[in-house]
Structure 1
Amino acid sequence: MVNTRISVSSSSSSSHVRNRGQPRRPSRYISIYVVLLLASAAVLFLFSQRRIAEVDRKDQSKNWFQATEENLWDSSFGFGYRTCVHRTSKYKAPQVWDRYLTVRSNGGLNQMRTGICDMVAVARILNATLVIPELDKKSFWRDSSTFADIFDELHFIKSLEGDVRILKELPKESAFLPRARKHFSSWASLSYYEEIAQIWKDYRVIHAPKSDSRLANNDLPLDIQRLRCRCLYNALRFSPPIEILGKTLVERLKSRGRYIALHLRFEKDMLSFTGCTYGLTELEAEELRKIRESTSHWKTKNINSTEQRIGGFCPLTPKEVGIFLQALGYGPSTWIYIAAGEIFGSGAHLSSLRSRFPNLVFKDTLATPEELKIFSNHASQAAALDYIISVESDVFVPSYTGNMARAVEGHRRFLGHRRTIVPDRKGLVELFDKFERGELNEGPMSAQLVRRMHKSRQGAPRKRYGPLPGMKGRGRFRTEESFYENPLPECICRRRRLS
């Protein structure tokens, strides 16, 4: 029995040895099958991931384009701000009516507009009756337009009834009243005008031969600041013919799509005044020099054009504007309305801008000759059309910071901080010069630099800038940001949250 158990045991051991030494065939097939299955799954996974990645890239490209379009055009919707021009509880209506302020408004359209509203505020401070201002007929444009030709006179008078008494002309009985001719100080404070009020002891009529910048930008009573806004943005409406045609031209532009209003200050008077000759021929530069030397009230005669340009004190040329807008991301199909007078050497200088943006539009290409007939030889009335089209544009771009650029920017801020892109001229000139020297090419890298440079220069809400650091004396007022360029915080307030 012992032998039998041993025999069985030995037989069993040898069987196990054989099994370990010879692989089982079914197991090999299963392993190969599993490997092939995993490999197929891996290939399928990698292929699907590649397709997904391609789809993602397409979607991202599409989303990037949409985001760019949004960044280029979309309205700000006010950034949570609203207009606030109502009178405060401390406001008192004027009491005395037998004192009169007569005014001669000087400068171009927007210089006169802001000056008129300054004089409305001054009349309120002096407790005087304002006589409808006489407009400048001796400026560069020699425009013979009267107040009623440019502005809705009755609307102006009626809108300000609760603030200032306004008459079309001095009463006949005032013809022999004692009069004073007074040059009000520039950027004058409330205390200055309170001292001026002493003049009523000896006179009943004060005549102001200039209206521009007669009132400080800052540190005035809230009601006076809001009166300036009520005047400029409500009372001083353009005359019906200008308003009707202006709105008609806006509708025609918007029917073509979104548009940029470009205030292109490449005009003879501006180039003469600033002494900027970059990009001009020698004959053109000489013509501008003669104009500057023959204009008596322009103090600076000898100007270094190169220094002006490097310092950012020159209007961008049409070519430079084209490079700038293209770098921001605007495509060649973009509609651009040129809000300006006659461009100096227009055909030659505009060609470089037109080569990048063929859809350039002017007043005379939007309106018929019959529609423009009544505005011929009236530069201020034509400028009013530019103003309306610029305020209502999807994007406003000024090539230089002048009176119109400041007025339009302020109005667009007042209406909800509509997109206004103010070029950094000094920074751009450095970039353009690198192009000319071959140190940098136009392309994605330079476009990125331009966009980064202008990220915070597109009209978002901010408080008005004060004087430049280190400035002392009256000269500091000249460096302040104009009240009409940015009426925040006095006339633009944050919306109250609903509880």
Structure 2
Amino acid sequence: MKTQDNPSQSQRVAYVGLLVLLLPIFSPTLFRPYGRAWPSLFSEWNAPKPMHWRLMQDALQQKTSQRQQIELWSPLPNQGWKPCHEYKHIPILPEKPQSYIQVFLDGGLNQQRMGICDAVAVAKILNATLVIPFFEVNPVWLDSSTFSDIFDVDHFINVLKDEVHIVKELPDKYSWSTREYYGTGIRPTRIKTAPVHASASWYMENVVPILQSYGIAAIAPFSHRLAFDNLPSEIQHLRCKVNFQALVFVPNIKMLAETLISSLRSPVKGTESTSKQGVGKFVVLHLRFDKDMAAHSACDFHGGKAERLALAKYRQVLWQGRVLNSQFTDEELRSQGRCPLTPEEIGLLLIALGFNNDTRLYLASHKVYGGEARLSSLRKLFPLIEDKKSLTTDEELATVEGKSSLLAAVDYYVGMHSDIFISASPGNMHNAMLGYRAYMNMKSIRPNMVLLGKLFLNKTIEWSDFEKSVQDGHKNRQGQTRLRKEKQSIYTYPVPDCMCSAFQLKDILFK
């Protein structure tokens, strides 16, 4: 009888290697004693523990009153402000300038959006032709999406045609001025020294001479490179016009987002809502809790030693010790409101505010750090959670899959049309959406991060005290008009720069 040959040395090594890779999948606890020596691939597999078990148990038993539901879902009353920047001045387009401005924008979608608005304003200040802005590849999300992949270029140019000259491409004689050209050496036409929140006079003094000498100037970096104060009113109005009128998404993004919105407003099959007030309505929750955010906050999220080590390593590699929060303890960070709300915490906040478990909740977020294990508490509180994948087919999602900027654009559009918007922590999406919804007088809830940080630190607090503190601390954080203060962003606080009071509007219209 023929016997099977013994495996060779190389085969035995291969078998052992395969076993080492597969064992943690079926028994991740087996390798926990190896600590730091175990490959980083498996260092964060420990499921995070609930941080607020007592509050969770009470929240699961809560019932909201009809009065609470009416207050929650009622739209904001007229607050006396209306969009009116189109009435404030008659745009005068100067003769076509002979010089060109390029800007290279980094960051995510919403940071780039603000950069576009500033770029148009700078082109107006300099009386230069603006080239459609170039989007840098994001080092975190590795997204190569271009302006035209996200925004309707023809609409953008048409809306601004009486304000600023804009071109899709440079004329042939300047075709050498590419991103690659500026990445290969020091170039006299590139401005790298634009200060954060630079004044109009800085641009006149430092960029005009380059335009006069070369006919073209490229500004990079450009994020947050234009001040919010001490600018002519027509420049402020122009920024508003770009943000709220000129920047619209391309048809395929709008079509996908409309599909999501239609699904969110449709009745849920097999369920009967206990609240008539919330029928056909939904909340968009920007759950800004990806690994990048968790690491940068330097907070502890109860994922155990493995998670703390993984976040510390990620923080050190990505920011090389430049995260100032890492100098504070977790308790200090939470008491100062510096920790992003976890899915569990945002769920407790929503229940305390009066939302019940038949609320349609749409998650607008990048990949959630901790995955389904970290989302489990939120799902227990709100079973009707949806996101892009749960509401679409693979074919519908294929046009934006793997492109973080396109996915963010879909979420932004859904957020524009939601009944209520709330973000788990401040950030560019939070700021941009608050600005849009203030402009449209739509309800947004701004979590009181300092209050919540202190409440969640109190491990003995009773639900009744937690609920009362949350409700008292958020009465005036649900979309009430806030006037922009000095140095604050016009894109987050559009009143009064982008809007008129009822009395101002009456005067303008009947002059």
Same fold (TM over 0.5): yes
Question: Counterpart of 1:442?
Answer: 463
Q: Does 1:240 align with 2:240?
A: no
Q: What CA deviation, in whole Å up to 9, does each residue of 1:252-296 have, x standing for no partner?
A: 112242111111111111112222222322212222211111115
Q: Which residue of 1 aligns with 2:292?
A: 269
Out of 208, 212, 216, the position equivalent to 2:223 is: 212
Task: Give distance in 1, aligned partners of 2:175 and 2:391.
Answer: 47
- Alignment partners' CA distance in 2, 1:381 and 1:460: 30
Aligned residues: 418
Q: State the alpha-carbon separation in 1 of the partners of residues 385 and 413 from structure 2.
A: 18
**Which residue in the other structure is 1:470 paired with?**
none
> Contact 2:82 / 2:501 at 8 angstroms: preserved in 1?
yes
Distance 1:312 1:179 in 2: 44
Q: 1:391 aligns with which of 405, 410, 416?
A: 416
The answer for unaligned runs of 5 or more in structure 2 is: 1-63, 178-186, 268-279
| TM-score between the two structures when normalised by the length of structure 1 | 0.80
How big is each residue's C-alpha offset from its partner over 1:34-73, in whole Å with a ceiling of 9 and x where there is no partner? xxxxxxxxxxxxxxxxxxxxxxxxxxxxxx9443223211
**What is the match of residue 302 of structure 2?**
279
CA distance in 1, matches of 2:134, 2:306: 38
The match for 1:423 is 447
1:299 aligns with 2:319: no
Which residue of 2 is the match for residue 359 of structure 1?
A: 384
Q: Which residue of structure 1 aligns with residue 24 of structure 2?
A: none
2:135 aligned counterpart, secondary structure: coil
| Matched residue, 2:39 | none
Contact 2:490 2:497 in 1 (8 A): no
Per-residue CA distance 1:376-420 (angstroms, 9 max, x = gap)? 11110001111111121111111111000000000011112x111
Query: Do structure 1's residue 228 and structure 2's residue 250 form an aligned pair?
Result: no
**Is the aligned partner of 1:253 residue 2:274?**
no
Report the Cα distance in structure 2 between the residues aligned to 1:148 and 1:78, rounded to whole angstroms: 36
Q: Residue 346 of structure 1: which of 360, 371, 381 is its match?
A: 371
How far apart, CA to CA, are the structure 2 residues paired with 1:308 and 1:105? Answer: 31
* Aligned equivalent of 1:372: 397
Tell me if structure 2 keeps the 8 A contact 1:129–1:167: yes
State the one-letter code of the partner of 2:86: H
Q: CA deviation at 1:357?
A: 1.2
Structure 2 residue corresponding to 1:487, chosen from 466, 475, 494: 494
In structure 1, what residue type is equivalent to 2:348?
A: I
- How far apart in 2 are the matches of 1:100 and 1:310? 49
User: Counterpart in 2 of 1:318?
Assistant: 343
Shift of 1:218: 2.3
Does residue 460 (structure 1) correspond to residue 471 (structure 2)? The answer is no
Q: Which is further off, 319-328 or 210-219?
A: 210-219
Secondary structure, in 3 states, of the residue corresponding to 2:218? strand
| Structure 1 gaps, min length 5 | 1-63, 467-479
Secondary structure in structure 2 of the residue aligned to 1:375: coil
2:141 & 2:327 partners in 1: Cα distance?
A: 23
In the alignment, does 2:208 pair up with 1:188? no
* Greater Cα offset, 272-281 or 137-146: 272-281
Mapped partners of 1:484, 1:78: distance in 2: 21
Q: Which residue of 1 aligns with 2:439?
A: 414
**Where does residue 199 of structure 1 map in the other structure?**
210
User: Shift of residue 211 of structure 1?
Assistant: 2.6
For 1:409 and 1:296, how far apart are their aligned partners in 2?
28
Give the percent of matched residue pairs that are identical in Structure 1 and Structure 2: 38
Describe the SS at the equivalent of 1:119.
helix
Aligned match of 1:51: none
Pair 1:220–1:340, CA change in 2 (3 A): same
Give CA-to-partner distance per residue, 1:422-449, whole Å, 9 cap, x none.
Answer: 1111111111222x1x2x2112x32121
Give 1 or 2 for the bigger CA radius of gyration: 1
User: What TM-score comes out, normalization by structure 2 length?
Assistant: 0.78
Residues 179 and 204, structure 1, Cα contact 8 Å, conserved in 2: no
* Deviations 1:343-369, CA, capped at 9 Å, x for gaps: 011211111111111111111001111
Task: Name the aligned partner's letter for residue 100 of structure 2.
Answer: Y
With over 3 angstroms needed to count, the CA separation of the structure-2 counterparts of 1:456 and 1:114, relative to structure 1, is same
CA RMSD of aligned residues (A): 2.1
What is the DSSP-based 3-state SS (H/G/I as helix, E as strand, rest coil) of the residue aligned with 2:399?
helix
Alpha-carbon contact 1:109-1:383 (below 8 Å) kept: yes
In structure 2, the CA distance between the partners of 1:303 and 1:368, relative to structure 1 (3 Å rule), is: farther
How far apart in 2 are the matches of 1:212 and 1:369?
Answer: 35
The answer as to whether partners of 2:73 and 2:419 remain within 8 angstroms in 1 is yes
Correspondences of 1:466-485 after superposition (within 5 Å): 466=486, 480-485=487-492
